[in-house]
A and B are shown apart, each in its own frame.
Chain A
Amino acid sequence: MNIDLTDTTSSKIFGALLDARRRSGSPAMGAVLTLVIVTDEQGHYDALKAATSASREHPSRILVVVARPGRGASRLDAEVRTSGETGPGEVVLLRLHGELSDHPDSVVLPLLLPDAPVVVWWPGTAPEDPAHHPLGMMAQRRITDSASCQSPISELAKRRSGYSGGDTDLSWTRLTPWRTLLAGALDHPAAPITGAKVAAEAESPSAELLALWLGSRLGVEVERATTDGPGITGVHLWSDGGGVDIERGDGRVAQIKVPGSPERSVALPRRPLSELLAEELRRLDADDVYGEVLGLVSPADGSVGAGA
């Protein structure tokens, strides 16, 4: 069911949500969190699609905040969509016109689920210091996406300087399958790693983070090589015994070679936004490992620090 409310207030929106829930005959709420998406007119469709898909795994109330600053009068328009077509949970699309666009917290606060965690997601441009953004302050977890910004690498440096526990970035989430595969390759005792190389397309914040992670964990220098992509195309770990070699040229299937085993192929597809978001919502506490790796990003231009 869709309800359009123009020139409205949060309490009217709340009323509409309650009303819709009563009408559908299921007053109980199964939602486990409130997801606030801060975006613009161009970005809200894709973001909402990913969020609705993720809400199948994490039933949530989704609040989409679209700021429309301008010289016009302050006004709040809302579109309430309740369970049914959109999947479990509720979706409220909020359009903040004029001066109101500077005060999104005043609109969002009354609409948060009681006592449930809050996650804020900036699918595009993110504030310099998410934890101190008016919306970020309400949240346990703040999700950004450096890769979707104008210059991803310098964006990473901003993430570092504005980092607080609970921040996370989708360029880190994208690495999980790579990191899983690499950790699996080193599960069985082998000769110590003496060097490493990460090959990826230019301007890949994920590759930067992967190189930093490997460098700090293995205590070696990590080379960076630029390829045509897509994404990360290969990781090589050298050791006296031969080392680990993973190549992924097509963004789907990787070839992996470890000492003592023949070359094998393993599925390593690039994941859609919905899966990344679902992974993010699985844990709501601070990701310390991400924090540590991010701390190694060099503040000036975001490139890999020497010997890191």
Chain B
Amino acid sequence: MTASEALFTNGASPGGLSSTNPLRDVRDRRLPRVAGPCGLVIFGVTGDLSRKKLMPAIYDLANRGLLPPGFALVGFARRDWEDQDFAQVVHDAVKQHARTPFRDEVWKQLSEGIRFVSGEFGDKQAFETLRETIRDLDEKRGTQGNHAFYLSVPPKFFPDVVRQLKETGLADGPEHAWRRVVIEKPFGHDLASAQELQRIVGEVFDPSSVFRIDHYLGKETVQNILALRFANEMFEPIWNRGYVDHVQITMAEDVGIGGRAGYYDGIGAARDVIQNHLLQLLALTAMEEPVSFDARDLRLEKLKVLNATHAGKDISRSTARGQYVRGWQGGELVPGYLEEEGIPADSITDTYAAVQLEIETRRWAGVPWYLRTGKRLGRRVTEIAVVFHRAPHLPFSRNQVEELGQNALVMRIQPDEGMTVRFGSKVPGTSMEVRDVTMDFAYGESFTESSPEAYERLILDVLLGDPPLFPRHEEVEASWRILDPIEEHWESHGKPDTYPAGTWGPRSSDEMLARNGHVWRRP
């Protein structure tokens, strides 16, 4: 099997499907991967994420025919609800947020398997009820003991939930059945807490049954990074220090912290975004070619490159952080961070973070990797820009190429997924004048209404037991090792610079690049 075949078929026999099924044929690529009989239990169904992402994604999967008949959805929360109350909540969430059209027949199929269990995370009785519910589903819906537990709850509840799952025997299914646990970021807030989390979950669940969701990795364009790099011949030869000048990875949000004050303050932009999303993007962009696209081989390469990555020696010169203040953003006057509800007036939480990282490998030595993220920036955008060296010699006079910048290859992750190549071109006219132009590829899938949402892909992968898109705890810990020294330094050295809402971050961040003779791209 060639690399590209492996990439697009996701390795052999995903989900351990029976290879003896006479109706399956590797050449029959119309047949999608459909999860076997199973159910999903969501803890914390009243949260935003559940309503806006999980429930619609489950419906969309059902609508695309990718869920098994008899699929069961169990909600667990501290509400005094009956099954039908919860079904109503799911119904409303689906109607409002689902991507695919609402069809009564699909809803009917889904709603027959909806159950609700009311209780606290510390309440043993409630978990007994959950066990009964699951047993009942196995009987009435034929879920055959296969269940995934989705922990859509703040990490402080993880120990309780995981312990209860173990004590009531929910963590181990009957023979030949699987139990999986899904956890959302944050995976701790530093190395020590990440290890503690891993210890708690690892005591109960086998590493191969733990799925950490980083929804970025479920995005089509992120997976397209791998296709772009390893299925093509024209990029990989220049994908190294010989041609690449520096790399900029940006994830900018135009919104403030909204209702997340309780979570966000004390965590900040770097822990919230750089540790997971941006370092994963860095790993995918910088890693060596994996020998196959198996989960194991991919992870190995990502881990290698993360282990070789670290911040510059002088952290005060290789990082910048900021906090937004009141300002005009997109025609609207928005409050500053310290004015947001629930934020202490002396908070030194960073709402903007930029770091310069070095990757100590033969491929990348000496190439700065700039990662930045922030709230209340100019616009919402996520992109990876690989900026190339200038041509070593230009057979043009200086004024002919005055407008010529550096070549760049930009992978746009969101919104408007696609790719841009920037290069020099002659300006029409009689004189020789070269100027930057861009060539654009809008990712084909992106204009379709039916392009799958990241959560759909990831939930399906959990149910199939297909792990390549989920970071393992080793990667999480490697990321914290990169970020921890920076956070420690920031804690003990002053406070964030300010930047007006609606701009592209504090001056200190521009200065950080200017020291190396670079400038931030305006995304």
Contacts and interface: CB of A to CB of B under 8 A. Distances in A.
B105 A252 contact: yes
A264 B103 CA distance: 17
A266 B36 CA distance: 14
A179 B69 contact: no
A265 B67 CA distance: 12
A91 to B, nearest CB: 16
A260 interface: yes
B12 interface: no
Interface residues of A, number: 45
Interface residues of B, number: 45
Nearest to B65: A177
Contact of A267 (B62, B139, B447): B62
Contacts of B2: none
B238 interface: no
A65 interface: no
Contacts of A260: 142, 144
B30 A267 contact: no
B29 interface: yes
Contacts of A222: none
Interface in B1-48: 17-18, 20-25, 27-32, 34, 36-37
Interface-centre pick from B28, B112, B141, B441 (highest chain A CB count, 10 A): B28
B70 A179 contact: no
Interface in A160-192: 173, 176-177, 179-184, 186-189
B426 interface: no
Contact of A183 (B31, B69, B139): B31
A262 B142 contact: yes
A102 interface: no
A113 interface: no
B326 to A, nearest CB: 37
B23 A182 contact: yes
B448 A56 contact: yes
A279 B441 contact: no
A261 interface: yes
A15 B512 CA distance: 50
Contacts of A186: 18, 21-23
B312 interface: no
A41 to B, nearest CB: 30
A59 B440 CA distance: 14
A32 interface: yes
A56 B23 contact: no
Nearest to A280: B30
Interface stretch (A140-148, A200-208, A283-291, A298-306): A283-291
Contacts of B105: 252-253, 267-269
A288 B439 CA distance: 37
Given A262-B139, A262-B141, A264-B112, A28 B18 contact: no
B18 A188 contact: yes
Contacts of B31: 176, 179-180, 183
A214 B105 CA distance: 26
Nearest to B66: A180
A19 B448 CA distance: 26
A187 B17 contact: yes
Given A28-B439, A265-B108, 10 more contacts: A28-B440, A30-B441, A256-B69, A260-B144, A261-B70, A262-B141, A267-B62, A268-B65, A269-B105, A289-B27
Closest 3 CB pairs of A and B: A261-B142, A57-B448, A266-B69
16 contacts: A28-B440, A57-B444, A57-B448, A177-B65, A179-B28, A182-B23, A184-B68, A186-B18, A187-B36, A214-B23, A253-B109, A256-B69, A264-B141, A267-B103, A278-B450, A283-B29
